[in-house]
Structures are given as structure tokens and as C-alpha cells.
Structure 1
Amino acid sequence: MTTPYDPADDGAQMRFDGRMSYTDYLGLDAILDAQHPLSEAHDELLFIVQHQTSELWMRLALHELAAARTALAEDRFGPAFKMLARVARIFEQLNSAWDVLRTMTPSDYTTFREALGQSSGFQSWQYRLIEFTLGNRNAAMLRPHEHRRDIHEKLSAELARPSLYDTALAALARAGIEIPPEVTARDLARPHEAHPGVIAAWRVVYDDPETHWQLYEMAEKLVDFEDYFRRWRFNHVTTVERVIGFKRGTGGTGGVSYLRRMLEVELFPELWHLRTEL
């Protein structure tokens, strides 16, 4: 008779009295006790877990974006590129999450939708902070967070900082590539709008990538990230339409109509417009 394998024979730690375990380090008790369905519907747990895990990925995305912005401001391009590549892959993970949620049918969702009240992903402050960090800024979007002073202050503070794209344009300027003064002196709380002078600046980089390789790579890292971000938005729209059709969202938005409008937002517009001219 074969003796069952005992990992302790190979040195595995098997006793954790007074020692840190996997559960301890990750705080799994708190995480796994954070799902509290408000109905008896089978699919409500899926809905909760999908959104909670998305918020965890967004937390990591914010960590990486903040560090990438700091690195770009200090011309530490290598670390910044690694962080931006990681954020793009984070959004690849967020995209995959829609595939799981789409296994929930309209009939499944109606069994617990009323339990959501007025709560909606529209109110995700981390998603809003990601958009503000990237440059899609709208002070009106502070209002859903006025009931939480700590969150409101965090979002307001971001509106006073240069966005990731502003920081990238500043890197161009430090490299001797002219950025129009009306772009660099704009009100930071307002979204950046496409400017022909910025297209011209990026054109200098793309016309001679060998001379401006770091700036060229920075541009492509930004485009790569926005590509994944756009896919996430598109998958959000199609998932919502598949599950609720054209009903209004629980948070009062137009639902699909609102999300389709968001598809038109360009985070780094000149990097996309430039491609037509090359």
C-alpha cells in the first residue's frame, strides 16, 4: 500500500500556531466575509464578486498609474514603461471579467436588481479617480461623492494635479519639443482637448523614432493602454445591453446610452489623430 505523500517530508511548513499563514498575510477572512447578498437570488453573489474583484484590480491600477506619473515627471522612463504595461494588462484582466458576468441572463438579473437600490458602478470612486488621473476630467462627477468627504477630497485633489497625459507632454517639452503654451497653462481641472500643436509635437517624435526613442516608446505605451481601456468600455456597453437592454441604470443614468457616449472619449487624442497624418 502506497504511503500518502506528506509535504512536511520535503520541508513544508504545516503548523501555524503563532506564525503568519497565507490567510493571515492576505487578510482573507475580511475579503471572503465581504460578500453580503441582499436577496436569495443565486446570481447575486456573482454580481458582487465580479464588482469587488474589479475594484481590487482598479486599486492596483491606481497604484501603478500614480507611480508611472511620478517616474515620467522625473524622466525615469524605464520604470514608467513597465508600470504602464502592467496597467494595460490589468485592464485585460478587467475585460475578461465581463465574460464571466455575461453568463448572467436578463432573467437572472431581475431576481435581485431591486436589492441594488440606487447603487451603480457609475458611482465607483476608484474608476472616477482613474479617469481623472488619465485626463478625462469633469468636476460635475464629484457630486456623487459629496456624502463621503474623504473620497470627495481625494478626487478634488486629483483635479489639481497634472494628469498622466499632461506629464507625458511635459516630458516632450523637457526634451526640447515645443508644446503650445495654451496647452501647458490650461485649467488642470478641465479635460485636455485635441490641439494641432500637440499633434505637431508628436509628429516630431514619430518622424524620427530613432532620435526620440524613449519618447516614441512612451507614446506607444500610452496608446497600448488606451487600446485596452477602450476595449473595457466597449465590453461594458455590450454586457449591460445584453443583460438589461435599454433600461435606465440603477444609478439613474441612461444605461447603454450613457455608456455609448463614454465610448467617444479619447484619453490621448493627438496620439490617435496623428496616425491619419503619418
Structure 2
Amino acid sequence: MYSRTLRLEVLLDLQGEIASSGDDLFFIVLHQTHELWFKSLLYELERARDHIAAGALDPAAHELRRVRAIERLLTEQLLSMLTLTVDGFAALRPYLGTSSAFQSAQFREIEFLSGLKDSRYLNVKWFSTAERRRLQRRYDEPSLRDSFDGLLARKGVADLFDAIKCDPDGELRSLVEGLVAHDEGLREWRVRHMEMARRLIGDSSGTGGTSGLPYLRSRQGSAVFPDLRAILDRL
């Protein structure tokens, strides 16, 4: 049965008492679906990393294309926040307490797995013990960036620009394009998230205890593969 296979009875009950009104339900569903997609992103990024480490570039590029598709979906999904009025969000905000999307352990895992490892997130108070263990594991294990750099070292690539130009089957270029697209996907999501925050909270501080917009602006420029973007721009 469809509902049993997808465990819909459990899934559709997860909003429970935390979402009783229209705005509450919308807000909670949006964030819960984000976390489900984050789970999928982590799975695909792990597979891409491991395929790169094994020298399997075509499968890695395929997984990165799926990563980019999910990131587009998440960025577009944030547009639905435009249906939430400033007054509606102000009424909802007290119920959020100190919780914030800033506290998503899975998003930090995505950053760590990609190569943006910030040790300040390892022991923050809002993560559970299980979440801190996951973050520590991501911090300690090789990242997507590590895997790619290891690939170049094994192949003896001294000049990536020349290596891509001379790549007979285009595998290396497809991989580089996928890595850059992932970087751009994260950046676009951050920009869209900041735009939504600017509209809904203005200059107020964030619910998670951050400075709000100044903090979000500070994260916009975070990139894992800026050097690869520069190489693609030359090709």
C-alpha cells in the first residue's frame, strides 16, 4: 500500500501540536521538508565524495547534478515564504522561542561534508548530543574538497586548466562543473534565505540568537570551490 510504504500515518502526524493554525502548519511543513531534502543532499554528497575518491568521475558528476537539482528546489521553495505576511510571521515568532533554521545540524553537516568546516559549531549548546556526534564525524572525515584534491594529487595534475582542456572524454570538466554548481546552489540558497529574512524580520535579531541580517550577510560569500569557478570562467 502507498501509505504504508511511505509511512504516511507517521509522517503526517509529525506536525502535531506544534502546528495548529494555517501559518503554523505552513511554516513547520516548509522547514520539515527542508530537513528531508537536507538528508537526501547528505546522501548524494557522500556518494559523490566516495566516487571521486575511487576515481569514478561519471557517477560523481551524476550525483552532483542531482545535488544541484535539489538545491534549486530548496531555493525555489523559499519563495513560498512570500505568502507569509510580516504580521503573520510576527504572530508566529513567539512560538518559535529560541529555535531557528540557523540551528539545523544537517545544514552544518552539508557545509562540513562539502569542505566548509568551522569548529565553532562542534560544541554549541542548541545541538543535541547525537547531532554533535554527527558533526564531529563530518568534521573528522574527508570532505568533498579533500576527495577532489586527492584525485588531482593521484593523477599528478599540476595545472587543472590544462588538464581540463586536454581531457579527451570531458569527465574531469563535468566533475568540476558539478562541484562549482553545488557551490553556487548553496550560495543561491543563502541569498534567497537572507532576502526572506530581510522581508520578515528587517533589522531585528534572529530567533536563534544571531545578529539576524548581518550574520546572514557574513555567510553569503562562503565558497568551497572559488578556484574552480575561476578556471571554468577561463575556458
Do they superpose with TM above 0.5?
yes
Cα distance, 1:37 vs structure 2: 4.8
Cα distance, 1:269 vs structure 2: 1.9
Please, which of 38, 42, 45 is the counterpart of residue 65 of structure 1? 45
Which runs of structure 2 are paired with 1:140-151 in the superposition (5 Å)?
140-144=120-124, 148-151=128-131
Q: Is the 8 A contact 1:77 1:218 kept in 2?
A: yes
Moved more, 40-49 or 110-119: 40-49
2:125, 2:39 → 1: CA distance?
17
Please, which of 7, 14, 26 is the counterpart of residue 34 of structure 1? 14
Task: State, as a whole percentage, how many aligned pairs show the same letter.
Answer: 34
List runs of 5+ in structure 2 lacking aligned partners.
none
In 2 relative to 1, CA 212–170 (structure 1 residues): closer, same or farther, beyond 3 Å?
farther
**1:83 has 2:63 as partner:** yes
In 2 relative to 1, CA 40–68 (structure 1 residues): closer, same or farther, beyond 3 Å?
closer
1:75, 1:273 → 2: CA distance?
23
The one-character-per-residue Cα deviations of 1:10-56 (angstroms, maximum 9, x if unpaired) are: xxxxxxxxxxx111110111110011354764311111000000101
In 2 relative to 1, CA 39–28 (structure 1 residues): closer, same or farther, beyond 3 Å?
closer
1:226 alignment partner in structure 2: 183
1:96, 1:145 → 2: CA distance?
31
In 2 relative to 1, CA 39–31 (structure 1 residues): closer, same or farther, beyond 3 Å?
closer
Which runs of structure 2 are paired with 1:19-168 in the superposition (5 Å)?
21-38=1-18, 41-144=21-124, 148-168=128-148
The aligned length equals 235
**1:236 has 2:193 as partner:** yes
1:145, 1:93 → 2: CA distance?
30
**1:257 has 2:214 as partner:** yes
1:203 alignment partner in structure 2: 161
Cα distance, 1:117 vs structure 2: 0.7
When the two structures are superposed, what TM-score results if normalisation uses the length of structure 1?
0.79
1:197 alignment partner in structure 2: none
Cα distance, 1:273 vs structure 2: 3.4
Q: Secondary structure of the equivalent of 1:58? A: helix
Q: Is the 8 A contact 1:125 1:145 kept in 2?
A: no
Q: Is the 8 A contact 1:71 1:77 kept in 2?
A: yes
The one-character-per-residue Cα deviations of 1:48-103 (angstroms, maximum 9, x if unpaired) are: 00000010111101011111111111011121111110000000110111111121
Q: Secondary structure of the equivalent of 2:208? A: coil
Aligned AA (1:79): P
Bigger radius of gyration among the two: 1
1:76, 1:275 → 2: CA distance?
21
Higher helix share: 2
Moved more, 226-235 or 111-120: 226-235
Q: Secondary structure of the equivalent of 1:143? A: coil
The one-character-per-residue Cα deviations of 1:109-153 (angstroms, maximum 9, x if unpaired) are: 011210111111111010010000001111111223675222211
The one-character-per-residue Cα deviations of 1:153-192 (angstroms, maximum 9, x if unpaired) are: 11101111121011011111121214xxxxxxxxxxxxxx
2:101, 2:126 → 1: CA distance?
16
2:126, 2:138 → 1: CA distance?
15
Q: Secondary structure of the equivalent of 1:43? A: helix
1:147, 1:127 → 2: CA distance?
12
In 2 relative to 1, CA 146–174 (structure 1 residues): closer, same or farther, beyond 3 Å?
same
Q: Is the 8 A contact 1:95 1:235 kept in 2?
A: yes
1:253, 1:108 → 2: CA distance?
21
List runs of 5+ in structure 1 lacking aligned partners.
1-20, 179-200
